[in-house]
C-alpha cells in the first residue's frame, strides 16, 4: 500500500473570519504541496471534517500538529487506513464551506457537492 489516509472531525474553537479561513488554506496548501499531501476539508458551522492522505509518516506528523492547533478542539479520528490510490489526487487541500446551521430545524441539512458526498461515502464504506 502506497498511501495512508486519516479522517478526523473536530469542533471549531470559534468561528473563523473569511480572511482567517483564507490564511489557513494558504498555509495548508503550501505545506501539503511540499509533502505531497492531498485531501479535503469540510467546514460546517459547528464541525470540521478533514481527510488527509499521503505518506504515513507525513500524515501522522500533520495529525499531531493539527491536534495541537488552538483553532479547534476535541479532535477525533473517525477513520484511518492504507490506500493504493488517493481519494483526492488533485487537491492539495480541497475546501468546502457549508453555511448550514445544524441547530436550525428550518434549514434542512443539505449537501449537494459531489466531493462532499465522496467524503461521506469513504466514511461509510469499508475502506482501510
Note whether 15 binds ligand FMN by CB under 6 A.
no
Q: Residue 51 and residue 122: Cα distance in Å, rounded?
A: 10
Give the H or E element holding residue 95: strand 94-97
CA 29 from chain centre, in angstroms, equals 12
Note whether 48 binds ligand FMN by CB under 6 A.
yes
Note whether 51 binds ligand FMN by CB under 6 A.
no
Which residues in the 79-118 window bind ligand FMN by CB under 6 A? Answer: 93
What would the x/- binding string for ligand FMN be over residues 56 to 85, using CB under 6 A? ------x--xx--x-xx-------------
DSSP 69: -
The distance of closest approach from Cβ of residue 100 to ligand FMN in the complex, given in angstroms and rounded to an integer, is: 17
Q: Residue 121 and residue 124: Cα distance in Å, rounded?
A: 5
Q: Residue 54 and residue 39: Cα distance in Å, rounded?
A: 9
Binds ligand FMN (CB under 6 A): choice among 31, 45, 47, 118: 31
Q: Which residues lie across from 72 on neighbouring strands?
A: 12
Note whether 32 binds ligand FMN by CB under 6 A.
yes
The distance of closest approach from Cβ of residue 4 to ligand FMN in the complex, given in angstroms and rounded to an integer, is: 14
Q: Residue 65 and residue 75: Cα distance in Å, rounded?
A: 11
Q: Residue 23 and residue 4: Cα distance in Å, rounded?
A: 26
The distance of closest approach from Cβ of residue 62 to ligand FMN in the complex, given in angstroms and rounded to an integer, is: 6
Q: Which residues contribute to the site for ligand FMN (CB under 6 A)?
A: 24, 28, 31-32, 41, 48, 50, 52, 62, 65-66, 69, 71-72, 93
Amino acid at each position: 500500500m502506497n498511501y495512508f489516509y486519516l479522517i478526523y472531525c473536530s469542533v471549531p474553537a470559534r468561528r473563523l473570519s473569511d480572511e482567517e479561513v483564507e490564511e489557513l488554506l494558504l498555509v495548508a496548501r503550501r505545506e501539503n504541496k511540499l509533502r505531497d499531501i492531498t485531501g479535503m476539508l469540510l467546514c460546517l458551522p459547528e464541525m470540521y471534517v478533514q481527510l488527509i492522505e499521503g505518506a504515513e509518516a507525513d500524515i501522522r506528523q500533520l495529525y499531531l500538529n493539527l491536534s495541537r492547533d488552538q483553532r479547534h478542539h476535541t479532535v477525533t479520528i473517525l477513520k484511518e487506513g492504507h490506500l493504493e490510490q488517493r481519494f483526492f489526487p488533485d487537491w492539495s487541500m480541497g475546501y468546502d464551506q457549508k453555511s448550514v446551521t445544524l441547530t436550525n430545524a428550518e434549514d434542512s441539512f443539505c449537501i449537494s457537492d459531489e466531493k462532499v458526498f465522496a467524503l461521506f461515502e469513504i466514511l461509510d464504506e469499508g475502506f482501510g
